[in-house]
Structure 1
Amino acid sequence: MTPARVRGLLLAITALLAALVFLAWSQPWFSLELTASSGDPVSLDVRGDVAASALAPLALAVLAIVAALALAGPVFRVVFGVLESLLGACVIAVTAVSLGDPAAASAHAVTDVTGVSGADSVRELISSVAVSVWPTVAIVVGALIVLAGALVAVTAPRWPTSGRRYSRSRGVPADAVEAEAAPDPVSEWDALSDGDDPTAGAR
C-alpha cells in the first residue's frame, strides 16, 4: 500500500473512531433500580453524557487531530500521532472510572430525579445496576484510537507532502519570473530611438 493510501486510510479510520466515541457517549450506559420512599422500585437510565461527560471533548480533540494531520509537516504528524494515542488512553481511563463506580457516575442523574444528594445517600437509593454494552464499546474504540495514533506516528514521516506551486526564486510564481525575464519589444524600440543600444546590458 502506498504512503498516500496509508495516510488517507488512517485519517478516515481516526474520524470514524471519533464518531463512535460520540455515539457511545450519547447512549444509555446504566439502568438503575432506585428504592422510592413508597417502597416501590423506580427505574432510571443513565446515559454516557452523564456517566462519562468527558468523552465528548475527547472525541472533538480526536477530530481536530484529523484536520491537523492533513495539514502538518512530517515532524508535527509524529507529534499529533502520539497525542492521538494519549487521547485514546484518556477515553479508556474515563470509561474505566465510570464503570468502576456506577453509583458515583450516576449521582447527578439520581439527584435530578429524587432530589437526594451526597454520595452515601445516593448509594443507599440504588438497589441494582445493569450495565449496557456501550461502556465496553467506548473502551474498545479508545484502544483502537491508541493503535491508530501509534500507526500515524510510525508511518507519518513517509506520507507524501503537498506539491509546491511556486518556484524557489524568492517565492515568486515561476510564470511571473519568466514573464519578467522576457524582452519587451516596445521598450527596446524606444531605447533605440533615443540612441541607446538595448542589448548593451546583456553583453
Structure 2
Amino acid sequence: MTTDHGGTTAEPRQGSNRLKGLMILGVVVVSALVFLAWSQSWGTVGVTGDGASGRTLDVPGATAAPALAALGLAGLASAAALAIAGPVIRIVLGVLQVLLGASIALSGAGPLIDPVTAGAPVVTAATGVAGKESIRAIAESEAVTAWPVVAIVLGALLAALGVAVAVTTTRWPTSGRRYQSARFASEDGRVRGADDLLDLVDDETDPDETTPGVAESPDDAAVRRKAASVDNWDSLSRGTDPTA
C-alpha cells in the first residue's frame, strides 16, 4: 500500500513552517512587550499651588496611554488567529496588525508631545483640579522615561510584521488535513483508489453483481482481500462486529 502525500519536498515545507512560526512568534513577543510598556512609569509631573507645592507625581503608562492594553490584547488575538487562518484571512490580519501598530505608535507619541495632558488624570486625582487649562496652571512635566519611545518602536515593529505577513502569506504552509486519501497498488503496478476498493467489496458481498465464467486474477483477489480487511476495520470503528 502506498499513500499519496503530494509532491511537496521536505525542505521547502520546513522552510515555510519556520517562516510561519517566526511571524507568529514575532507578533506574540511584540504584543507582550506592549503590555510591559503599558505597566511601566512614563514620567513624572511636578505640581505647584495651594497645599501641593513641590509635589512630584508619577505618571504610569496605564494613565498616559490607556489604550495600549487593548491594543496589546488585540495583537495577541491576531497571532492566535494567524495560526489557523487561510491565505485570504492572513492578508486581512496583516492589514489589521499594521493598523494596530500605527495605533500603538500614536499612543506612545502623545505623552512625548504633551506630557502634562497625559498626566492630567493623576493631577486631578491628587489635587482635585480638573480642566486642561487649570491643570496646566499648576503642573509641569519634570521627566519623561524611555517607555513612550519603546511603545513607538514596538508599534513600528508590529506594523512591519503585518506587512511581512500580508506579503509572505502565499509561502506559508496550508492547514493540514486530518485524513489523506490512500491509494493501493497491486503487484502488477496498477493503482486503485478508495472507490475502486469499495466496488470490489460490493462485488464480493453481492453475488448477483459478479460476472459468471470470468476468472479472477490473483492480483484482483489480493486487492479484494485488502479491501475487505479495510471494510472490517471500518465496521469495528463504528461499533459493529463484522463476524456477526
**TM-score past 0.5 threshold:** yes
Q: Which of 73-82 and 178-187 deviates more?
A: 178-187
Q: Deviations over 1:8-60 (max 9, x none)?
A: 01110110000000000110102111114246311100101111001111111
Q: Which moved more, 1:156-165 or 1:113-122?
A: 156-165
* Distance in structure 2 (CA, Å) of the matches to 1:162 and 1:65: 17
Which range moves more in the overlay, 142-151 or 16-25?
142-151
**TM-score of the pair, normalised by structure 2:** 0.70
Gaps of 5+ in 1: 169-175, 189-195
C-alpha distance after superposition, 1:113-152 (max 9, x if no partner): 1111111111111144210111011011111111111111
Quote the Cα distance in structure 2 between the aligned partners of 1:113 and 1:177: 78
Could you say which residue in structure 2 is the equivalent of 1:83?
A: 96
Choose which of 189, 193, 197 in structure 1 pairs with 2:208.
197
Q: Which residue of 2 aligns with 1:43?
A: 56
Structure 1 residue matching 2:173: 3-state secondary structure: coil
Tell which structure's C-alpha radius of gyration is larger: 2
**CA separation in 1, counterparts of 2:125 and 2:34?**
25
Paired position in structure 1 for 2:201: 183
Q: How many residues align?
A: 190
Corresponding residue number in structure 2 for 1:163:
176
Q: CA RMSD in A?
A: 2.8
SS in 2 for 1:30: strand
Structure 1 residues 164 and 38: CA distance shift in structure 2, 3 A: closer
CA distance in 2, matches of 1:69, 1:28: 32
Q: Distance in 2 between matches of 1:90 and 1:184?
A: 63
> Which of the residues 64, 89, 111 maps onto 2:77?
64
Q: Residues 46-78 of structure 1, C-alpha deviation per residue, up to 9 Å, x if partnerless?
A: 101111001111111111110111111111111
* Segments of 4+ moved more than 6 angstroms: 176-179
Which of 34, 37, 41 is 2:47 aligned to? 34
For residues 36 and 177 of structure 1, the distance between their equivalents in structure 2, rounded to whole angstroms, comes to 88
Contact 1:36 1:42 in 2 (8 A): no
Distance in 1 (alpha carbons) for counterparts of 2:105 and 2:86: 29
The two structures have a TM-score, normalised by structure 1, of: 0.83
1:32 and 1:161 map into 2 onto residues whose CA distance is 52
| Alpha-carbon separation, structure 2, partners of 1:107 and 1:58 | 22
5+ residue gaps, structure 2: 1-13, 182-193, 215-244
Cα distance change, pair 166–42 in 1 and its aligned pair in 2 (3 A): same
Greater RCO (CA < 8 Å, at least 6 residues apart): 1
CA distance in 2, matches of 1:185, 1:64: 53
